[in-house]
Each structure stands twice: as C-alpha cells, then as structure tokens.
C-alpha cells in the first residue's frame, strides 16, 4: 500500500487507491484531504506497477526491456520489508527498467505458472523472457546488482 505524505502536516499515511475509489482519503492526524496515488495499472514509471493475472501478459511478457516482478502477499513480513526497496528502485529506474508487483494470493494463476513456492520471490524478465529469480528478502544492493547484470 502506498504511503502518502500530508501536504498540511507532513504525516505519512497509508492509502489504498483501489479501495479509496469514490471516497476522500484524509490524513489520520489533521484530517486534511490527501492526494490519491494512481490506481492499479495506472502507475507512473517511477512507481511500481501493480500486475494481475489479467494484465501479466501485457505488462510483463509483452514489455520491452527489463521488468522486475516482485511476487508478494500482504500478510508476509519479509515481503513488507522488500516493499520500500521496490519503491526506491522504481523511483531510481530512470527508464532503465520497470518495477512491478504481483500479489500471489489474488493472482494464483501467474504464481503457479512461475512456480512461486516461497515469497518474496523476485523475477527478472528481459524482453518478456524470464532471465533471473531471487528468492527471499534481499538487500537493495543485491537486487540492484542483479538488475544491472541483465541491463547490458
């Protein structure tokens, strides 16, 4: 879930753009309306793209260049540790690669297709082909290094 800073008091708030549809998200501290992050499938290149079973072909397999797919679940502690790293990598990508996230609980078809048996699992695709797999929570430098190996 994305974190949005309040423009009034600076408090960081978690906002689910998919469930906020039709509602006004407000700061938990001061009540000021918050800017909503983009909904699933509408994320900017500097934010992780939410991928589903239905959008996987278009967003990952048909994508040109590198895509790092973070396979995660909301209840997974190590996945929540990797989440901010994915946000940072997306912000730092400068178009060299795309960061995407797949909730394995909600998208079991794609998780089964790539035999995701442990989460977090990060899959690296290059021009739609699976080229690397990282299993378990990894530090940011290790993930970035694996991306760089395939960027050439």
Q: Domains of the chain: which residue ranges?
A: 1-37, 49-151
CATH domain 49-151 topology: Glutaredoxin (3.40.30)
Q: pLDDT value at position 47?
A: 87
Residue 78's CB is within 10 A of a number of other CB atoms, namely 14
Q: pLDDT value at position 13?
A: 85
Catalytic residue among 6, 27, 71, 79: 79
Residue 12 class from Cβ within 10 Å (0-12 exposed, 13-18 middle, 19+ buried)?
Answer: exposed
In three-state secondary structure terms, 133 is strand
Model pTM above 0.75: no
Active site residue 9: no
Active site residue 27: no
7 in Cβ contact with 32 (< 8 Å): yes
How does 86-98 read in b/e, with b if 16+ C-beta sit within 10 Å? Answer: bbebbeebeeebb
Q: pLDDT value at position 20?
A: 47
Q: pLDDT value at position 23?
A: 61
Q: pLDDT value at position 126?
A: 95
How far is the C-alpha of 80 from the C-alpha of 99, rounded, in Å? 15
Using 70 as the pLDDT threshold, list the residues of the chain that sit under it.
1, 17-23, 35-45
How far is the C-alpha of 106 from the C-alpha of 17, rounded, in Å? 16
Catalytic residue among 6, 27, 71, 76: 76
Q: pLDDT value at position 45?
A: 64
Which of 140, 69, 130, 136 is closest to 102 using CA atoms?
A: 69
Q: pLDDT value at position 48?
A: 92
């Amino acid at each position: 879930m994305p974190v949005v800073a309040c423009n009034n008091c600076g408090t960081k708030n978690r906002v689910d753009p998919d469930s906020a549809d039709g509602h006004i998200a407000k700061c938990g501290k001061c009540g000021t309306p918050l800017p909503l992050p983009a909904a699933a499938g509408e994320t900017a290149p500097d934010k992780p793209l939410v991928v589903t079973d239905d959008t996987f072909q278009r967003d990952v397999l048909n994508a040109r260049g590198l895509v790092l797919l973070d396979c995660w679940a909301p209840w997974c502690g190590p996945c929540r540790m990797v989440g901010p790293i994915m946000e940072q990598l997306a912000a730092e990508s400068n178009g060299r690669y795309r960061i995407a996230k797949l909730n394995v609980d909600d998208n079991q078809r794609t998780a089964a297709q790539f035999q995701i048996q442990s989460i977090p699992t990060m899959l690296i695709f290059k021009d739609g082909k699976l080229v690397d797999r990282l299993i378990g929570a990894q530090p940011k430098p290790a993930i970035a290094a694996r991306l760089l190996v395939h960027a050439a």
